[in-house]
Chain A
Amino acid sequence: MTASPDQFPDPAPRSTGNTAESLREKPWVSDPLSDEAAAAAMVGRTRRSFITAAAAALAASLGGAWLLSPGGRRVFAEVMRLNEGVGRQLYRANSRAPEFARDTARSPRVNGTEGLSDGFEPADWTLQVTGLAGGRDLPQFNPALAFDGADEPGSAPKFPAAPVAGLRLALADIQALPRVEMITELKCIEGWSTVVHWGGARVADFVAKYHLPAQNGIADGADGGFGLPPYVSLVTPDRGYYVGWDTASFLHPQTLLCYEMNGAPLSLAHGGPLRLVATSKYGIKQIKRIGRIAFAHQRPPDFWAEQGYDWFSGL
């Protein structure tokens, strides 16, 4: 088909080939103005818009500078708490990270030695489980691992008057729990991940076996029926590394008290005799060489949170 520019031979718009027509764009143009009137109208609009734009740019710059000031950093902290709230809302006890084929498992990079001081004697190791809120009143088998966490100030103690003693467990006690294996990605907060074949006991089985809630008589329902306080604190025997967990993630079925890696007993470099392994948190939370587990009503201290990382770090 040929057509001269002066012809409109086809009433069907699709045949014009003009893209403005194909979706019926509706441009808006003013009535014709004299050149002078048009220029004046443009100058007025330009002035107004550029003043607005400059004011907006200035406000954004000042706002940005304030955000980076000590006062503004609180805003970041608030949004991190908001993100944590979203993470907690997203949490589902039946969520599962994917598992991988056994032959894809590798040995992960040893990415930190904090809390793994020399002179550690695995044969002497025991796991201390104490510190359910009001922890200082509980017997501390190893005074060096005394739990400093306290109930929230002013809150009524949620404990029976005479709490039972905490637990002191040997590796054999953990190994006596149902043994589970999982081949999952260890995700480092730095951004890398490694598929690792882990073996150990589910934290949930451990809690159920030792009747931790029943012993302590707490039932605030915050953790799906286990009746545990909302937070967990874990430290290494030398207190050089410590992490805080929310109890819900701690009880996730893919959170293990781990004593085997890639088919062999967990080496000291990877956190032997007992480390935490999880799919719900980054590696920074999966503490090696656990010395003490304590439940708490307040957010426990966390090694990397003190360095500016997100306390929750939930996946």
Chain B
Amino acid sequence: MKRLERKHPLAVRWLHWINFPLLTLMIWSGLLIYWANAVYSVKILGYELLHFFPQKFYEVLGIPYQLAHGMTLHFFFMWFFAINGVIYALYTLASGEWRALVPVPGSFGRAGRVFLHDLHLIKTLPPQGKYNDGQRIAYTGVVLMGFGSIITGLAVYKPLQLAWLTSILGGYEWARAEHFILTLGYVLFFIIHIAQVIRAGWANFRSMIVGYQLVDHVAPLPVVKPIDKGDPAA
């Protein structure tokens, strides 16, 4: 016997998949803007460990040196990226989906065990709802990052009219750096997200498109078990 579990509401699926090309376009156009003043690098004791970005990076990705085009794209798609994100946040709050998404007391500690589990260093996952504690932190974090990108972006875009905002963020130069660091964060998120989706398999991926997945009837969800805090497998 099986049950159909509704995993992702229709709105979340649409908003997630609309966000994917929009964020890609924002990062792409952001790169077109960044190359015109590509000053950031990671330095340790004065030694430049990594420059953003090596010449090879532009060549491999075939990035054209087009600042004007990059700005046009960025200030066009920013509307859609921001509106999509705001709708997602409102939907998540109104629908109660946030209950599955936000970190709960103990999430940060258990996320460490999720991390060790995913590295195959320990065998058991902590008990979880729809998302494990690592996911709760990552998915809430990436939404906050989106909010941060809008805020830092506005501070760089209108540093005179929104001078108070730019000032809160540490000034114009800092706001630009923060905007850039958040973008690096998306790329990091994306890499881990894709690796985890591949690891989780087809049924999980399909549920992000179809919304449903099959679950065994014999293992009812949610499992509300009392557990031994020391060893959940006991």
Residues of A within 8 A of B (CB): 1-3, 5, 7-10, 13, 15-35, 38-39, 41-42, 45-46, 49-50, 53, 56, 60, 75-76, 79-80, 83, 87, 90-92, 95-98, 185, 187-193, 254, 279-280, 304, 307-310, 314-315
- In the complex, chain B residues 13-29 whose Cβ is within 8 Å of any chain A Cβ: 17, 21
Residue in B closest to A33 when the chains form the complex, CB atoms: B2
Closest CB in chain A relative to B51 CB, distance in Å: 16
Tell me, yes or no, whether B46 is within 8 Å of chain A by CB: no
Per a CB cutoff under 8 Å, which of A9, A19, A41, A192 touches B104?
A: A19
Contact B4 A20 (CB under 8 A): no
Per a CB cutoff under 8 Å, which of A17, A23, A38, A56 touches B3?
A: A38
CA distance A15 to B24 in the complex (A): 42
Closest CB in chain B relative to A27 CB, distance in Å: 5
Tell me, yes or no, whether B153 is within 8 Å of chain A by CB: no
- Kindly specify which of B56-64, B70-78, B143-151, B183-191 makes contact with the partner chain: B70-78
Chain B residues positioned under 8 Å from A315 (CB to CB): 157-161
Contact A3 B228 (CB under 8 A): yes
Main secondary structure of the interface of A (DSSP, over half): loop
Chain B residues positioned under 8 Å from A280 (CB to CB): 160
Tell me, yes or no, whether B34 is within 8 Å of chain A by CB: yes
Contact B228 A38 (CB under 8 A): no
CA distance A34 to B217 in the complex (A): 10
Other A-B pairs beyond A25-B100, A41-B4, A80-B72, 12, CB < 8 Å: A16-B127, A18-B129, A20-B223, A22-B105, A25-B130, A25-B222, A30-B3, A31-B3, A96-B163, A97-B163, A98-B163, A280-B160
- Kindly specify which of B86-94, B116-124, B207-215 makes contact with the partner chain: B207-215
Tell me, yes or no, whether B12 is within 8 Å of chain A by CB: no
Q: List 25 A-B contacts (CB under 8 A).
A: A3-B226, A3-B228, A9-B226, A13-B224, A18-B223, A18-B225, A19-B110, A20-B100, A20-B222, A20-B223, A23-B102, A25-B100, A26-B96, A28-B5, A29-B6, A29-B221, A35-B1, A79-B79, A97-B159, A190-B36, A191-B36, A193-B172, A308-B68, A308-B69, A314-B160
